[in-house]
Amino acid sequence: MKILENVALKELTTFKVGGRARYFCAVKNLGEVAVADAFASKQKWPLFVLGGGSNILIAGAGFSGLVLKMDILGVEFVEKKGDQVEVIVGAGENWDDLARLTVEKNLHGLENLSLIPGSVGAAPVQNIGAYGAEVAEVISFVEVFDRRISKVKILNKKACQFSYRDSVFKKPAGKNFIITRVGFLLKKSKKKMPFKTDYPDVQQWLVREKISEPTIVDIRRAIVEIRTKKLPNLAEVGTAGSFFKNPIITNTQFKKLKNLFPDLPSVVMGENKVKIFLAWILDKICELKGFSVGKVGLHENQPLVVVNFGGATAEEIKSFTKKIAAIVREKTGLVIEREVEYVG
């Protein structure tokens, strides 16, 4: 393992913006994680763990400490009781490669999360979700290196404190954890599995393809085609995917908004919690689909996605998204939260 100086970070992120890391290293095993952490701690430098670079916005000034690129690989399949299989995966593995592999092995649980950019280690941090599924539903454990004690710990699902697009890893208690491996408890797929097909886009795809009893392969194919059609091509533009979270509000708040906007789509999330869809709000209420300022804009097919058309700075993207949040608040009274993490 080499510790490098003054390394450009721009091309290591999907937004294609950002400055340089004062120090940088790529780690391939737990021993290298420990060495890198000891180096940063001795120098009293901040440490940032970089995965696939898909949910971050790095400042133009870069990062003044050590950027640790997570490259721990490996996928292991462990047979469990009944039809369950535990899949143990290195944090540096590509997320969609894992989703594709589990579908190829006929394992149910990750198919709705197909084509989400990023690494496996980032999945529990954000509790990634799409088309009615969240990764927390199938995570069995998260292995971490605890920087406070310089030891490896195994966190069960409860310890991860999962909630909508949130986890312990985004809170002060989890900031000292470096995720090294993740365990997923999946099921061998059978006919008439309870696949999640409630989302209109998925239902429409199945009807169009004349599929009444979808297989796990059908579900992945549907998700991949839908996302490919809706989302920008990362080879052509920079983006971090969905920049904002869908708001979760109280029943009282929802009733007020529903009176004003009768067509507002929603999903009940539990007692006194309703999730409303920000893409619809940005499009139908704020009329912002395709809106742009300079080199930054909202994607023409999915307004939750902020796009760098080329040459935008992190500061310009930050300013643009603040403007979007201000418009939403003015039109609806909602204070929206970002999914993307600011670095530097």
* pLDDT single digits (tens) 267-319: 888 888 999 999 999 999 999 999 999 999 999 999 999 999 999 999 999 99
What's the predicted TM-score (pTM) here?
A: 0.92
Among 86, 225, 300, 339, the active-site one is 339
Has 339 been annotated as catalytic? yes
For 42-65, b/e burial (b = at least 16 CB within 10 A) is eeeeebbbbbbbbbbbbbeebbeb
Which candidate in 20, 165, 220, 221 is catalytic? 165
Low-confidence ranges of the chain (pLDDT < 50): none
The structure tokens listed for 208 are: 């169009």
**In the chain, where the domains are located:** 4-70, 75-190, 238-343
Structure tokens at 140: 């069995």
Q: Evaluate whether 75-190 and 238-343 have a shared fold.
A: no
165 has catalytic annotation: yes
Pick the CATH number of 4-70 from 1.10.1740.10, 3.50.50.60, 3.40.50.10710, 3.30.43.10: 3.30.43.10
CATH topology of domain 238-343: 3.90.78
Which long-range contacts link 277-282 to residues 24+ away (Cβ below 8 Å)? 277/246, 278/244, 278/245, 278/246, 278/247, 278/304, 278/328, 278/336, 279/303, 279/304, 281/328, 281/331, 281/332, 281/334, 282/324, 282/328
Q: Please report the pLDDT score of residue 234 as a whole number.
A: 83
Task: Specify the amino acid at residue 213.
Answer: E
Helix axes 200-208, 216-230, angle to 10 degrees: 110
Residue 173 pLDDT: 86
Q: Which of 114, 140, 189, 242 is catalytic?
A: 242
SS3 state at 334: coil
pLDDT 10s digits, 200-234: 899 999 999 999 999 999 999 999 999 999 888 88
Query: What residues does 166 pair with on adjacent strands?
Result: 163
**What dotted CATH number matches 75-190?**
3.30.465.10
